[in-house]
Structure formats: structure tokens, C-alpha cells
Amino acid sequence: MTIYKAYAKVNIFLKITGMRGDYHEILSRFMRVDNLYDELYFQEKDTNEFKIIGKFSCESTQNTIYKAYKALLEYTKSEDLEKLMQKNSIVVKKNIPAFAGLGGGSSDSATYLKMCNEKLDLNLSDDELASIGLKVGADVPFFIYGYDSANVSGIGEIVEEFKEPLLEFDTYTPEVQISTPKVYKSYRENFYNPINDDEVKYYTSLKSEDALKTKTPKELNDLFAPALKEYKELKQYQKDGYFFSGSGSSFFRTIIRSVKCV
């Protein structure tokens, strides 16, 4: 049995660059969290129905993995894919909190797409998988490409690797279930102030370590202020040295490893 890791991510920064219809365009630095991941694998079953085994609060048909299955099936028209999911459940050992701004659902669905691509020899490129994944969620393409760090722009479909050392993170997630659409709505109505082209260039080349050393949580994340406005209880969970990931509710900081003298 092969077990696949679906890693979490943090948003080092998340800046709004404008609107595309009803969607907000962003520039964000995504970085993988190496010490936090869900585990996925296939497990044989007796019934033909699509089945996800794991601790989820939603119905299977609302799960991002099921949505990824339907999007992949629509793209490939693969009978082998249908047979795979008739014979197997997808088991998910959840470690990434839900409603957390850590990309758990997107990472699970991206990992599922890669699992199917590998197991069924579909020979789909990362670009094809990313295009399929974008139908499931804006963050999915980042997890398809598997970069340590990347600049993510547009509505999430543009993922450009940013070469820098992978940082280690400590994350914590308050029990505050945040609605991403609600936070974006509050930003649009109360805080709308897209960054300009010069700021885009600045953030695109800014190293993550430098960003976390020189900027405040509100400066780095345009969604932090609207999240605090809509969910006032978040204020009590904010700690010095911690930053806000995505639309929340997770906070993170870098872990500094001490060097022993010998």
C-alpha cells in the first residue's frame, strides 16, 4: 500500500491586485509546510459507490476530493478511473485543520489527482492536472506543481516557482470557522486597496524570510484586517511574532533551530 502526503501551505504574504469579474486577483507567496500533512491511500471496498473514509464535516459529494474525481473524469472520460473508484475507497488521515487557511482541502484534491494519474498511467502533465484542479479550487495548482515556494497570482492559476530555502513553521489554528467568501466580501466593501505595479514587482522578488522579519501581519496579508472585523474573537488568539495565513484562521511563525557549540 502506497501512502501519499498532502502537505499544508502558508501564505507568507497575500496581496490583492484587482478584480476579475466577481473574483479577486491576488499576488501571494505560498510555502509548503513540511511538518504538517494529511495522508492518503486507496483501500479496497465491497460497494460500487464513491467513498471517502476520513474525519470530514461535509457530505462526500461536497468534498474537494470528490469534486476532483468528477473534474478528472470529465477531462479524461476514463473507464479505468470509474472502475478504480468502484473498487476502492480513498482514505484520508486528516492532520491539517479545516477552515484554517492552510490549504488542506486543496492539497488533498491535488494529491488525489496525482495518485490517479500515477496509478492509472493517465500520463497527464502537471499543467493539465493544474487546469483540472483549478475547477476544484484556486489553491489546487500550487499543490499539483509541488514547489517548496512559489509566487501565486491571477485567481490562483498562475504558479511560478520562487527559489529560496524552505522555512520551518510552527502553526496553530483557533477553533474559529472562517468563511473565505465573507472575508473577501468584507475586504471589498471596507478595505479595498489593490497594490500597484511597483508593489507587485517588490513583493514578487521579496524573500520570504525577509518579509517575515520586516513586515507586520496586516502589512503582509490584506485579508487579516477584514477577518478581524468579521470575527472579532480572532484578536484574542493573535500572538507576537505570528502571522495570519490566507483568510484564516491559522497563525504561523518560523522555527529558529539553535546551533549547538561543540
- Residue with the three cell numbers 490583492: 16
Among 9, 15, 67, 114, which one carries the catalytic annotation?
9
Helix residue spans in the chain (DSSP H): 64-76, 79-87, 104-119, 126-134, 140-145, 180-186, 197-205, 208-214, 217-220, 224-230
What is the amino acid identity at position 251?
F
Active site residue 229: no
- Residue with the three cell numbers 492552510: 102
Active site residue 139: yes
DSSP readout, 13-70?
EEEEEEEETTEEEEEEEEEEEEEEEEEEEEEE-SS-S--EES--SS-GGGSHHHHHHH
Among 38, 108, 114, 139, which one carries the catalytic annotation?
139
Strands 149-154 and 158-161: antiparallel
- The residues, ordered by sequence, that sit 6+ positions from 123 with a Cβ below 8 Å of its Cβ are 117
Q: Which residues belong to the active site?
A: 9, 139
